[in-house]
Amino acid sequence: MERPSPLPSSPESARRAKAARVSTPRQTASVDETSAVDTRARPLDGGFAADDPDAGGAGLRDVWRASRARRRALSAEVRRFTVRQRRRRNIWIGVISAFLVMGLGTAGVAYSPLFAVEKIDVVGTSQLDPAAVSAALGDQVGVPLAMVDDSAVKAALVRFPLVESYTLEARPPHDLVVRIVERTPIGAMQSAAGFTVVDAAGVALSTTPDAPAGQPVLDIVGGTDSAAFRAAGRVVRSLPDAVRAQVTAVSASTPDDVTLTLGASGSKVVWGSADRSAEKAVVLDRLMQKSPPDKAKEYDVTSPEAGVVR
Residue 125 and residue 133 in contact, taking contact as beta carbons nearer than 8 Å: yes
Is residue 212 classed as helix, strand or coil in its secondary structure?
Answer: coil
Write the pLDDT tens digit of every residue in 70-90: 888 888 777 777 777 778 888
Residue 16 banded pLDDT, cuts 50, 70, 90: low
Q: How confident is the model at residue 11 (pLDDT cuts 50, 70, 90)?
A: low
Neighbours of 287 (CB within 10 A): 18
Q: Quote the CA–CA distance of 3 and 240 in Å, as a whole number.
A: 169
The pLDDT tens digits of the residues spanning 175-194 come to 999 999 999 999 999 988 89
Per residue in 275-305, pLDDT tens? Answer: 999 999 999 999 999 999 888 999 999 999 9
In this prediction, residue 202 carries a pLDDT of: 92
34 vs 56: which has the higher pLDDT: 56
Q: Please state, for a pLDDT cut of 70, what percent of the chain lies above it.
A: 78
Q: Kindly list the distances between the CA atom of residue 295 and the CA atoms of 19, 155, 199, 266, 279, in Å, as whole numbers in the listed order.
A: 170, 51, 31, 11, 23
The more confident residue out of 158 and 105 is 158
